[in-house]
Structure 1
Amino acid sequence: MEPLVLVPGLLCTQTLYAPQIVAFADRQILVADHRGHDSIAAIARDVLTAAPDRFALCGLSMGGYIALEILRQAPERVSRLALLDTNARADTPEQTERRNVLIRLTEDRGFARVPELLYPGFVHENRRDDAELKATVVEMAEETGPDAFIRQTRAIIGRMDSRPFLPQITCPTLVLVGAGDTLTPPDLSREMHGLIPGSTLEIVPDCGHLSTLEAPGAITAALKCWIGSTSAFSPR
């Protein structure tokens, strides 16, 4: 049975995948530590060092950027790929400036406000007043901490445009996104789906960016179908 490597997003911990960790408890699972470096390439190298020889790979948001880099560095080790609520493009100047504002805020005034500022974009508009979900997101951010947040943010800023690489992906690939994801909207997933041969696209209704927590049943079902496939998905 294939081991499964899960790569969390910015300011997220293994809690991001808590429902899926339970659902896939019958196999070896590694949740990647993506807190120690300020480049996607260095994070990917660390994950590969810790990972089994061959594995299924799933990344959400920043985890998707890392997953693509893992696949670039060691394609022979990745048996299948799931890209959740992410995109293949490089940062835009506007995005970089917003991220630098958050870095300066963290350095000058402290980290406490950052999770509060980010939360509305992390979830579907209907979940913005969900106190339990917000508490989970804030707890993950606090566990990550300000220093790791700055490193993660700098890694995101420095990521490459992965679109030229996508047509080279040959393993079974799932591209999934919440229909109400405002950080990485569905059009960015449609773009990746169009560039990855034979990939499957899932758009989850009434769901935002943190899909694994917002719609755990739907995401787990999609991942079970993905990890249960025996060959590349049929071309569109």
Structure 2
Amino acid sequence: MREPIVFIPGLLCDELVYAPQIAAFADHPILIANHRDHGSIREIAASILEAGPERFALIGLSMGGYIAMEIMRVAPGRVTRLSLLDTNARPDTPDQTERRLFLIELARKKDFKKIPHLLFPGFVHQSREDDEQLRAIVVEMAMTTGPDAFIRQQTALINRIDSRPHLAAIDCPALVVVGEGDRLTPPELSEEIHALIPRSCLAVIRGSGHLSTLEEPAQTTSVLKSWMESS
């Protein structure tokens, strides 16, 4: 059997964020992780491990990367290879937490529909701010996620740990991917992760922002294919 792959989406994202890669890896068993039902990264990671195959390749984008790093911390033997896309190993800053609390209040005040439009410019490369097709995908994923799950996700992100001290223990093939124009988790954060994971590889996706899997699917899929074929 081909190596199973577990994809963990980002904040307010679902399987659509990985649609090009799911098609490209259709010959592999695939699990799209559920990251909507719990209010802490630790609980989300535990639920994914419970649902997942015994051994699997792990791909996490943004919030999915935070969860993937927790999985590597608590169950490294389950993961055959790791890819972290457009993510950050650091804990939330006070400014980030303040912004998240503002968005949680919007969701609680029944203004959730505004949130994906507020977030969209930070999700994409500067050149794609007027890309209505991409915006429609972001809005669709957000509406599928819904306000209650969004609040749980933001609560989990506020309380996440600093993963940097644990990255040196990762010894499986690891790939760090970042869009060159990622404004939400800029390239220097991925460079930091790459420097901390022994023998990891770093791929910079040209012309992409935070949603590299959708903005530049051919480039992103190509580097993921090479990673899947690495020993």
Provide TM-score, normalisation by structure 1.
Answer: 0.97
Query: Aligned residue for 1:115?
Result: 116
List aligned pairs for 1:19-38, cutoff 5 A. 19-38=20-39
Matches within 5 A, 1:59-98: 59-98=60-99
CA-to-aligned-CA distance 1:177-215 (integer Å, 9 cap, x gap):
000000000000000110100000011111000000000
Shift of 1:72: 1.1
Matches of 1:55 and 1:75, distance apart in 2: 11
- Letter of the 1:39 partner, please give it: S
Report deviation, 1:19. Answer: 0.3
Q: How does 1:156-235 map to 2 (within 5 A)?
A: 156-230=157-231
Q: 1:77-111: CA deviations, max 9, x gaps?
A: 00000000001000000100000000011112421
**Structure 1 residue 71, shift from structure 2 partner:** 1.1
Equivalenced residues, count: 230
Identity of aligned residues (%): 61
CA distance in 2, matches of 1:44, 1:25: 24
CA distance in 1, matches of 2:205, 2:105: 35
Distance 1:189 1:198 in 2: 14
> What 5-or-longer segments of structure 1 have no aligned partner?
231-236
Name the CA distance, whole Å, in 2 between partners of 1:15 and 1:104.
26
SS in 2 for 1:176: strand
What letter is aligned with 1:208? G
Partner residue in 1 for 2:10: 9
Match of 1:234 in 2: none
1:155 aligns with: 156
List per-residue Cα deviations over 1:103-136 (Å, max 9, x = no partner): 0111124211001100000000111100100000
Letter in 2 for 1:195: L
Aligned residue for 2:60, secondary structure, equals: strand
Instruction: Name the counterpart of 1:233.
Output: none
Separation in 2, partners of 1:143, 1:113: 14
Secondary structure of 1:88's aligned partner: coil
**Distance in 1, Cα, partners of 2:126 & 2:77:** 40
Aligned-residue RMSD, C-alpha = 0.6
What corresponds to 2:40 in structure 1? 39
How many Å separate the matches in 2 of 1:18 and 1:109? 29
**What is the CA distance between 1:2 and its match in structure 2?**
1.0
Q: Whole-Å Cα distance in 1 between the matches of residues 6 and 33 of structure 2?
A: 7
Q: In 2, Cα distance between the equivalents of 1:111 and 1:186?
A: 29
User: Per-residue displacement from partner, 1:151-178 (whole Å, max 9, x unpaired)?
Assistant: 0000011100000001111000000000
Q: Does 1:53 align with 2:40?
A: no
Give the superposition deviation at 1:58. Answer: 0.4
In structure 1, distance between residues paired with 2:179 and 2:21: 16
Distance (whole Å) between structure 2 residues aligned to residue 207 and residue 20 of structure 1: 16
- Unpaired stretches in structure 2, ≥5 consecutive residues: none
Structure 1 runs (4+) deviating above 3 angstroms are none
- TM-score (ref. length: structure 2): 0.99
Quote how far apart the aligned CAs of 1:55 are: 0.3
CA distance in structure 2 between the partners assigned to 1:20 and 1:206 by the alignment: 18
What is the identity, as a one-letter code, of the residue corresponding to 1:8? Answer: P
State the partner residue of 2:144: 143
